[in-house]
Amino acid sequence: MKLPDRVYDILKWLSLVFFNAAGILFKTLASIWGWPYGEEVLTTCAAVALFIGALIGVSSAQYYKDKN
């Protein structure tokens, strides 16, 4: 599975920055304001970031395999 460059870049940003930052933000605000499910949202964001990271890892490995 090879991803187009633009899709790869977007998914990489989502997995490295967005989902981690969003999860930490929600967990922090949940503890301050007493919102429910702070830990659950944080764990979900981490799982989604890990899944996307695995997808782009597979894509990157396939790219370098085909390149060599």
| Number of domains observed in the structure of the chain | 1
Tell me the DSSP string of 18-41.
IHHHHHHHHHHHHHHHT-TTHHHH
Q: How many residues does the chain have?
A: 68
Residue 68 lies in a domain: no
Which pLDDT score is estimated for 2? Answer: 78
Domain membership of residue 53 as a residue range: 5-63
CA distance 53 to 45: 12
Residue 18 lies in a domain: yes
Query: In one letter, which amino acid is 8?
Result: Y
Which pLDDT score is estimated for 21? Answer: 98
Backbone phi and psi for residue 13, each to the nearest 5 degrees, phi listed first: -65, -45
Q: What is the pTM of this model?
A: 0.86
Per-residue pLDDT tens digits of the chain, which is 68 residues long: 778 889 999 999 999 999 999 999 999 999 999 999 999 999 999 999 999 999 999 988 888 888 77
